[in-house]
Chains A and B, each alone.
Chain A
Amino acid sequence: MSGGEGIAGGEGIAAGSLAERELARQPARPPVLRVDGLEKSFHRGIWPVRRATAVLKGASLEVRAGELIGLVGENGSGKSTLMQIVVGLLKRDGGEVERPARLGYCPQVPMLWDKLTADEHFELFARAYGLDEKARERAVAGLLAELQFAKYRGYRVEELSGGTRQKLNLALSLMHEPRLLLLDEPYAGFDWETYLRFWEMSERRRDSGMGILIVSHLLAERERLDRMYELCEGRICAC
């Protein structure tokens, strides 16, 4: 997997669909994520009844700076697996991934410590991102205001509702203002107001140059997206 703050400029996407032709007309923006021919199989059981299930069979996609991209597919189509490989949580069997070293990741199921407070989570992740105290406080104050959960910053995760946990989950992925943001079903548990606020936040960040990839089995807000990929049988079947 390639690291580095930027990845090399990508080739133009062959004009096919309306969205692709629209993209081709736009001035070239640098790609922040390029996935090419990604393959992944999971192995279950022990010999001699060990079996392999191929989940990704050559999936390819690209996200450019300042793009809000959707990735949809049926349950078990490999969306979350693809995202976990891009993030570095899973190893890939084949293919290439080029992405910036600085990325944000909001997992589908909040990966948090139940007995630590929201503030303690911010401290831990700020250290991982290399933010100093001043930068951390500025980022946290902004996110708490945007997502409206400042009053819960001293609460332990086990004391938070599902929706507030999800807000914390999302805030942790955003606090270092990454160049590439990967969101896996990010609005599960949000109420309607928060859901709308989430899309406004995403659009603001897209407009400021962040590349965003949103994974969902169902994307109702297609008009807000610049493009949408569909994953079928382990490959991108529509863009």
Chain B
Amino acid sequence: MLSAALPTAAAFTREHLRAPLTLVLLIWIPVFFVLIFATVLGDFATALGGTLASQSATAISAGWAAAFLSGTLAFFQVSSSRGADRRLSVAGLGPWRVATARIAAACAIGIAVSAFAFVTLWLRSGIGHPLHAAVAILSFAVIYIGLGALIGAFVKGALEGSLLIILLFSLDAFSSPEMTSSGALAWTPTRDAANLLIAAGGGQGSPSADWLGMAAVALGALAVALAAFWRAARTRAE
């Protein structure tokens, strides 16, 4: 299965990296989020009665950069290639191999985005626990790959899908730890990853519950992404 899926994944990754806008966003989004969005996030937290410190806001913004770009690109992986992927599937590759190739491509792009976000954060403020921060940023990316692919499997329109991702992202970002005095949402997909990233940015360790929670959500997101990519590549009823 992998012998067919891996070269296909390489082709799918090339396909996305050949879009000039993707390359620009790959660099610009982490810079924008870590340098500008972090300040806005801090100001919002103050206005909402939260306690998000400037250093924490900077750290968590690197995670949001990886999440936003990975989720958006995963959505477009599903929505823009649906017909061609399905044709390749019925030609003999099968929906599982196509889905595996797509998820591998999405993860490759997610790793690249996370690496840019990590380096930007490092250069901006330094990182107390680099390894913890790298894993947390990558988890942000993986969680949003799941959400982006899920939206792509059900929403065909580029505008509607992009708006849904922005809505989810906004709900998630403004309900993150220390953002409000009351805690707007009891649970969000990136809650544990955000806790870990804030702690890692300040050089602190994290409780094992955060690690386990983050791992469970990231693995769940990968399973959701695989199912969404499979759904997009299979025989449809309508």
Contact = CB atoms under 8 A, between A and B. Distances in A.
Interface of A: 42-43, 87-91, 105, 107, 109, 111-116, 120, 123-125, 127-130, 156, 172
A127 B84 contact: no
Contacts of B8: 124, 127
Contact of A127 (B4, B14, B15, B86): B4
A107 B84 CA distance: 10
B11 interface: yes
Contacts, number: 64
Contacts of A127: 4, 7-8, 93
A125 to B, nearest CB: 6
Given A116-B15, A156-B18, A128 B238 contact: no
B235 A91 contact: yes
Shortest 3 CB-CB contacts between residues of A and residues of B: A128-B91, A111-B83, A128-B93
A101 to B, nearest CB: 8
Nearest to B92: A128
B81 interface: yes
B27 interface: no
Contacts of A114: 15
Contact of A128 (B16, B88, B235): B88
Interface string B67-100: 0000000000000010110111011110000000
Contacts of A105: 87, 90-91
A107 B83 CA distance: 10
A146 B83 CA distance: 26
A123 B92 CA distance: 13
Given A43-B238, A112-B84, 7 more contacts: A105-B90, A107-B87, A113-B11, A113-B84, A115-B19, A128-B4, A128-B92
Nearest to A104: B91
B226 to A, nearest CB: 19
Nearest to A101: B92
Contacts of B81: 113
Contact of A115 (B4, B15, B93): B15
B83 A115 contact: no
Interface of B: 4, 7-8, 11, 14-16, 18-19, 81, 83-84, 86-88, 90-93, 235-238
A42 B18 contact: no
Main secondary structure of the interface of B (DSSP, over half): helix
Contacts of A111: 83-84, 86-87
A111 B19 CA distance: 19
Given A116-B14, A124-B8, A89 B84 contact: no
Contacts of B84: 111-113
A120 B8 CA distance: 10
A116 B12 CA distance: 9
A88 B11 contact: no
Contact of A129 (B19, B92, B237, B238): B92
Contacts of B88: 124-125, 128
A130 to B, nearest CB: 6
Given A115-B19, A120-B11, A127-B7, A109 B83 contact: yes
Given A42-B238, A128-B93, A116 B86 contact: no
Given A88-B90, A128-B91, A113 B235 contact: no
Nearest to A102: B92
A116 B88 CA distance: 14
B99 to A, nearest CB: 14
Given A43-B238, A89-B235, A120-B11, A115 B87 contact: no
A123 B235 contact: no
A89 B90 contact: yes
B158 to A, nearest CB: 14
A123 B7 contact: yes
A23 to B, nearest CB: 29
B11 A123 contact: yes
Given A89-B86, A89-B90, A116 B236 contact: no
Interface centre among B83, B87, B235 (most CB of A within 10 A): B87
17 contacts: A87-B90, A89-B86, A105-B87, A107-B83, A107-B87, A113-B11, A113-B81, A115-B18, A115-B19, A120-B11, A123-B11, A124-B8, A125-B91, A127-B4, A128-B93, A129-B91, A130-B92
